[in-house]
Every structure is written in C-alpha cells, then in structure tokens.
Amino acid sequence: MSEPRLIYLPKILDDRGNLTFVEEEKHFPFKINRVYWIYDVPGGEFSSSHAFRENEELIAALSGSFDVVLHDSTREYRFSLNRSYNGVYVPKMVWRKMENFSTNSLALILASTSYDENDYIRDYDTFLKEVSQ
C-alpha cells in the first residue's frame, strides 16, 4: 500500500509572483476526477474525520495554514501545511482529519474519484475492521 507523504511541487520563482503547478500521475500517483476547495473556515476549526475506500487525494494549502492528520491504523502522520508549493498525498483507506485552520486559509483538494457518499467511512471502528481485511 502506498504511504502518505509530503510532496514538494515545482516552484517557479519570479519577482512578479511565484508559480506552482501539478501534473496528474507525474507529481502524484492518480488521475484527477474532481477538484474541491475549502474556504471561509473560522480560525482554529477542524473538519470531520473519515477515510475513503477508493478515493485518493492531494491536499494543498494555497493560502494560510492547517494541519492534515492521517492514520493508517499502524502510525500517525501529521503534516503542517503553510506553503503553496507543498501537497500531502493521501492514499485510500487512511483515516483523515484536517485541523487548526488559520483564518482565511484556503485548502485545495485534488481527488481521484467523483463524489460518492458510499466511498466514505465515517466510523473509526468500521475503518479499523475494513483496513485489516
């Protein structure tokens, strides 16, 4: 199974403003089916916890900062995102939580599947059961 990891995306430095880009299957190991972003989060807020059965994601802090906390049932990974050129790769079947959003933060999420509520595991015991199968 692939592991969660911090990805350093290309960064083009320019006095007029920096530029970062991503290419699917080159900088992260999946094809994009969906893009969503989380914004207007009150400072200090956190997301609900869940895992995806099939969906994989790349999460980036385009603005501000927040933490991505992951658990694969063996170990915990904590990534503090505060640079626009970093992304966290979240494989399928990893328990995931985002927390400590700064005021005016903007999270961009590239996802490998279309939205499907049935792909969510929202109960931690169910996650532990399914991940050990």
Measured from the CB atom, the residue of 36 and 39 that comes closer to ligand TYD is: 36
Measured from the CB atom, the residue of 48 and 133 that comes closer to ligand TYD is: 48
The most distant pair of C-alpha atoms in the chain lies apart, rounded to whole Å, by 52
Does the annotation count 50 as an active-site position?
yes
Q: Are 4 and 94 in contact (CB under 8 A)?
A: yes
Distance CA 109, CA 126 (A): 24
Among the options 27, 34, 50, 83, which is catalytic? 50
* Structure-token pair, residue 18: 């920096």
Residue 36 in the binding site for ligand TYD (CB under 6 A): yes
What binding mask, one character per residue, do residues 43-62 give for ligand TYD by CB under 6 A, x or -?
----xx-x------------
Q: Are 36 and 106 in contact (CB under 8 A)?
A: no
Please give the residues from 68 up to 107 whose contact with ligand TYD meets the rule CB under 6 A: none
Which residues make up the interface to ligand TYD (CB under 6 A)?
Answer: 34, 36, 47-48, 50, 115
